[in-house]
Structure 1
Amino acid sequence: MHGKHILAAFLLLSAVNGGVDTYLDMHHIPEPGWWLISSSLLAMGIVFAWYHSDSNARGYPRSRWLNISMVMVSLLALPYYLIRSRPNGEKFRVLLKYVGFCLLSILCQVIGGAVGASID
């Protein structure tokens, strides 16, 4: 799967999570444990799939600890990877793109939440 398709899958998951969470909250339904676990595992898998695809495309060697960190603490490991894997002129720009993608993900959650709130 191409890197942009993987990122689109993450945004779709963000929207679905926002919708499901809002729907459950609006109807006073407790969030099922299986939903929390499966959506979290799926998000971790998507992040790792993007990292794997990107590092292969750049020829960046993946260490065991970076692999583990990418799954367990993605918010910290991803910026580290981006800084290490990009040439000097691209480091700041790629971090801005990362922040922008995080904001886009939040927007997708909000939009998903609005859809979830409109479902009766």
Structure 2
Amino acid sequence: MTSKRVLIIMLVMIGFFSGLDAAYRASGLPQSLGWNLSLELALNFLGFAWYRYDSDARHYIRSRWLNVCIVGLMPFAVPYYLVRSRQRGEKLRAIFKCAGFAFLMLLASAVGVLLGRHAV
């Protein structure tokens, strides 16, 4: 698996789970805490998998603390990692790509919510 495939899987999962969440809310059914917890664990695992594949491809030595932060504080740790791991001239482009991916995640979530509401 490559880092790009992991990102695509993340987008699909976000859209799918957002749709399921919207369907639950629209139908009035209670949603279990285990469902939300499993989603968070899956997304954190995929985020760490992306980080691992990307850092291996760039021969970046991962520190223990950055590993923990990637899992626990992903919105802050990923831009930090991107700045630290990229060469001069690539840092700003990597940050813009990260912001673009964040926008794609919001878009996937919105599409999932729209489809989930219409499914009920």
What is the TM-score when the length of structure 2 is the normalising length? 0.97
Q: For residue 118 of structure 1, what is the amino acid of its counterpart? A: H
Q: Distance in 2 between matches of 1:96 and 1:30?
A: 38
RMSD of the TM alignment (CA)?
Answer: 0.7
Gaps of 5+ in 1: none
Shift of residue 28, structure 1, vs aligned partner: 1.4
Matched, 1:32 2:29: no
Q: Distance in 1 between matches of 2:30 and 2:76?
A: 30
Q: Distance in 2 between matches of 1:17 and 1:98?
A: 21
Q: Distance in 1 between matches of 2:22 and 2:89?
A: 41
Partner residue in 2 for 1:67 = 67
Partner residue in 2 for 1:100 = 100
Deviations 1:71-117 (A, max 9, x none): 00000000000000001101111100000000001100011111101
Gaps of 5+ in 2: none
What is the TM-score when the length of structure 1 is the normalising length? 0.97
Aligned length: 120
SS in 2 for 1:61: coil
Shift of residue 42, structure 1, vs aligned partner: 0.0
Shift of residue 30, structure 1, vs aligned partner: 2.3
- Percent identity (aligned): 38
Partner residue in 2 for 1:55 = 55
